[in-house]
Amino acid sequence: MMWPPSLLLLLLLLRRGTQAKPSPDAGPHGQGRVHHAAPLSEAPHDDAHGNFQYDHEAFLGREVAKEFDQLTPEESQARLGRIVDRMDRAGDGDGWVSLAELRSWIAHTQQRHIRDSVSAAWNTYDTDRDGRVGWEELRNATYGHYEPGEEFHDVEDAETYKKMLARDERRFRVADQDGDSMATREELTAFLHPEEFPHMRDIVIAVSGA
């Protein structure tokens, strides 16, 4: 299936006019935990009822979609036109946007979201600023500092948090491919977004089945 850029642009503008995850779990001290997936949008995927916010954010990315919400229809049309041209030029440049080109653009948008989320997490977890994230840094930033044997003594449902901590440690060990207990940016990306890495599939399946 292929659309001329002008038709795709019209479709996107019409959808914009109708607009009025898993999200990270919260740790015991309020910090965000890991990203169990990289959703294109946290909005419901509900085209059948005229809610196209999911499509809007999947196509543009969440941050860019917010910018578009502030534009006039004329400005929005001009910027969307440039994006559609970029989609075509990144493909075969034949003046049409194919389904493959649309999928490629959405995948690019998703990867940009992943990079941004990892960069934000890196600033939180690399507490000693040595360019790597150790398991202890990640654990303490997520769950708080505890002396050995006192884990979660100050929170309700401590057993649940202990299970979460054990699950995260297993996941970190799989992501840490060289086994040095220090995550590079690539290894932290595998920990936060395991669905993007073949070597993380077994741990994702194990957690999902738990």
Residues 79-118: pLDDT tens digits? Answer: 888 888 888 888 888 888 888 888 888 888 888 888 888 9
Report pLDDT for 176. 96
Please compute Rg for the chain using Cα positions: 21
Identity of residue 104: S
φ/ψ (deg, to 5) at 52: -105, 20
Banded pLDDT at 129 (limits 50, 70, 90): very high
- Judge contact between 183 and 138, C-beta under 8 A: yes
Interval 36-85: pLDDT, tens: 444 556 666 666 665 566 666 766 777 777 787 788 888 888 888 888 88
pLDDT (0 to 100) of residue 7: 46
Taking the C-alpha atoms of residue 143 and residue 31, their distance in angstroms, rounded to an integer, is: 8
Domain coordinates in residue numbering, the chain = 40-114, 126-209
- Quote the tokens at residue 204: 């994702």
Polymer length of the chain: 210
Mention every residue, 6+ apart, whose C-beta is less than 8 A from residue 166. none
Could you give the CA distance from residue 2 to residue 97 in angstroms, rounded to a whole number?
6
Q: Quick one: tokens of 57?
A: 């954010």
Q: What is the pLDDT of residue 122?
A: 94
Q: How far is CA 204 from the centre of its chain?
A: 16
Query: What integer best gives the mean pLDDT of the chain?
Result: 77
CA 141 from chain centre, in angstroms, equals 20
pTM above the 0.75 mark?
no
The per-residue pLDDT for 55 is 67
- Which pLDDT band, with edges at 50, 70 and 90, does 13 fall under? very low
Cα of 58 vs its chain's centroid, Å: 11
